[in-house]
Chains A and B, each alone.
Chain A
């Protein structure tokens, strides 16, 4: 197994080490209360403006990793530094300020179904709004105009006043992106944003994400099941296996062999049903 250790060491070469990382993760571990160890000593540096795809089998820990970054899941140990701020140590108010700089996009969209589309986009401003005004959903005119502008950017200008529940999946995901953009985030975390979409909606959503990442230099981490989409859109690919970083490289370094190893080179375990 020494050879594998060597290749892994080589593969962990990240981009220019001179660029200060926007997100820096050190020795991140997560064990769920039921004893499942979902993340095992994960360390990464992600510089500004990169679009990073995280791939790996179901259960590899992709979602857990992403949720640790904005602490929707509490890490068990390790350190996460985002833009010079220690995320893992942040207390309530600080954590909210950090979260508003990280837009999150979910597989199931996680929009408030009974509210109109434009209100869901405006939720991106909650982190900047006073508690009471935010609670009552009173947003100033310029923010409403900005939200309508965002909706136009993702091609949903004509859907602004529909209830979210009336949209198609692909449209909902674009609302999710608009909400994240509305946050003015420096980092976008997208957890399988296209897993429940058809191919053409998937391409639309990924193209928008890519545009946002390049045009506005917003760092984007995308969990993906589809390796081909990762290869088509990402600058860099990180492979997770059983909670550890298995490979981490620029997209064009990803070979068929590696992919096979990541997905099928699994040492079979008694109950690997996925």
Chain B
């Protein structure tokens, strides 16, 4: 039987039995138990120590009601033109911040994704950069840039741009990792180079995810741009905090409404644009 044994070329490990199956299942259950225990513990602890209670919530509600009705209403509509400039500023910050994020995130996504990277180490580095950018809260990033460049839209724009790299770098890499390897192999088999495979095999598959996530990030920028203004990042948020500091609550209410309208308009506009693009 010398011939037949040399033929058993394919290596086999021992066949799994029902006992293995049980063992596997129990492991899964144990792992899940640990996760649920941690989640439950964390929630209990947080509710306990934040003093979250329905009574305080209710008291707070009635307090803020009287504040809104007596101090902040009606909004001062005649000052709307004063805040058109800051509105545009928020939009500029969002657009420029988005461009910064995309320009940095596309290479990070390509080099970070396992299937398109040039080397495992590069992939690890690219993912780490996105991870660090994601780990820093956007308000902290803004405060940092305000400290470096001073109060104003530049600090806000850079903060939005850098914050976007954390999100977009990661989701781009994830989306590229999910594309169909067979289609890439087809292009590779023609003798295509790395750049050609990217353009002709990866991009057509990546494009829908790219559009969706980039649009999502733009909407986030518009909303987030208003918030980071509060800590000195320029735009409507900065006008808002200034009004509050001067006890001009009716102006503040006007600004809040304008933020609301701006966000809605932007979301409707990008949605319409996307329907056309896809």
Contact = CB atoms under 8 A, between A and B. Distances in A.
A115 interface: yes
A108 B180 CA distance: 11
B191 A100 contact: yes
A177 B88 CA distance: 54
Interface string A30-42: 0000011110100
A72 B204 contact: no
B206 to A, nearest CB: 10
Interface centre among B198, B200, B201 (most CB of A within 10 A): B200
Contact of A111 (B1, B2, B15, B183): B183
A37 B199 contact: no
A136 B205 contact: no
A16 interface: no
Interface in A133-153: 134-137
Interface residues of A, number: 53
Contact of B15 (A70, A114, A126, A270): A270
Interface string A232-267: 000000000111100000000000000000000001
B4 A1 contact: yes
Given A5-B3, A112-B183, A113-B183, A70 B204 contact: no
Contact of B10 (A1, A114, A136, A242): A242
A109 interface: yes
A106 B15 contact: no
A170 interface: no
A242 B9 contact: yes
A127 B8 CA distance: 40
Contacts of B129: none
A187 to B, nearest CB: 12
A224 interface: no
Interface residues of B, number: 33
A72 B182 CA distance: 11
Interface string B26-44: 0000000000000000000
A20 interface: no
B3 A37 contact: no
Contacts of B2: 1
B190 A183 contact: yes
Contacts of B3: 1, 4-5
A101 B8 CA distance: 35
Given A40-B9, A242-B8, A135 B200 contact: yes
Interface string B1-22: 1111011111110010000000
A126 B9 contact: no
Interface string B174-205: 00000010110111111111011011110011
A1 B12 CA distance: 24
B271 interface: no
B200 A131 contact: no
A226 B187 CA distance: 27
Contact of A243 (B9, B186, B192): B9
Given A115-B204, A183-B191, A126 B196 contact: yes
A135 B4 contact: no
Contacts of A98: 191
A4 B7 CA distance: 13
Nearest to A70: B189
Contacts of B4: 1, 267
Contacts of B182: 106, 108, 110
A114 B12 contact: no
Interface centre among A98, A135, A241 (most CB of B within 10 A): A135
Contacts of A97: 191
B12 A271 contact: yes
Given A112-B200, A126-B196, A134-B192, 16 more contacts: A1-B3, A35-B11, A40-B9, A59-B10, A72-B185, A98-B191, A108-B182, A114-B204, A119-B200, A123-B187, A123-B190, A126-B190, A131-B196, A241-B7, A244-B9, A271-B12
14 contacts: A37-B10, A37-B11, A72-B188, A102-B189, A104-B186, A112-B183, A112-B186, A112-B204, A123-B186, A132-B195, A134-B196, A241-B7, A269-B12, A270-B15
